[in-house]
Structure 1
């Protein structure tokens, strides 16, 4: 006796749910990932009424309230600042140098950065400031 075989349907893999899950994961990672390159470093920038908004520079030296330096992600001493700024000098000459000095930073620490930039022939130096919230007449 011959048993008739049932015809099997062709197996299909539906990729639509898989693609939906991949897109949801992609969106999740894009939203949850931060692209901030700086660590939480709180600076009180000096205020300026006449400041002009500028495009950020790839070479930024941060002077903290204690007079410490940061170039990129790395904390530097005064001696290390000289060598690291020398390495970044070609890029700083092209795009400019931004100094983000805390309003409480010692003046000598800021002058040290300016002096080193001048010695490296970096002519486009900008000092970052915060937008003034009060005019001089309104200040207590």
Structure 2
């Protein structure tokens, strides 16, 4: 007696679930990773009681304690500050300029940055500060009417 042989289907590996898992892992790592776009500088910002938080400005000028400047990722000195700010002047006029000056920076270095901003037509200039802790702040004396 002759029995018919069963035909075996060829064995295949279904790649669709594997590709789905790889894409899910890729999305997970992209979402959970933090991206640092600015290089860290050791700045001690001055404190302010009356300051308010502002939206981030696309043009940020950093004044270091040593008298150097950083605009975006470029390190600048006093001579190259003017041309570098001129390159960013259109964005600065539209969105404003934020100056992050170290608390130990010389006043002349900050004034030089403000002067260059004015020469390039940037009128909205903000100076970044940190919020002073409430226990450090001394209360103002009450005024009598």
- Provide TM-score, normalisation by structure 2: 0.84
Q: CA separation in 1, counterparts of 2:53 and 2:117?
A: 22
Counterpart in the other structure of 1:46: 46
The count of residues paired between Structure 1 and Structure 2 equals 135
Counterpart in the other structure of 2:62: 62
Q: CA separation in 2, counterparts of 1:130 and 1:62?
A: 14
Q: Aligned-pair RMSD on alpha carbons?
A: 2.0
Structure 1: 5+ residue stretches without partners: none
Moved over 6 A (4+): none
Q: CA separation in 1, counterparts of 2:68 and 2:39?
A: 15
Counterpart in the other structure of 1:13: 14
Structure 1 residue 36: deviation in Å?
A: 1.8
Equivalent residue runs for 1:1-140 within 5 Å: 6-9=6-9, 11=12, 13-32=14-33, 34-133=34-133, 134-136=136-138
Q: Deviations over 1:64-116 (max 9, x none)?
A: 11111000011111111111100100110000000000000011100000001
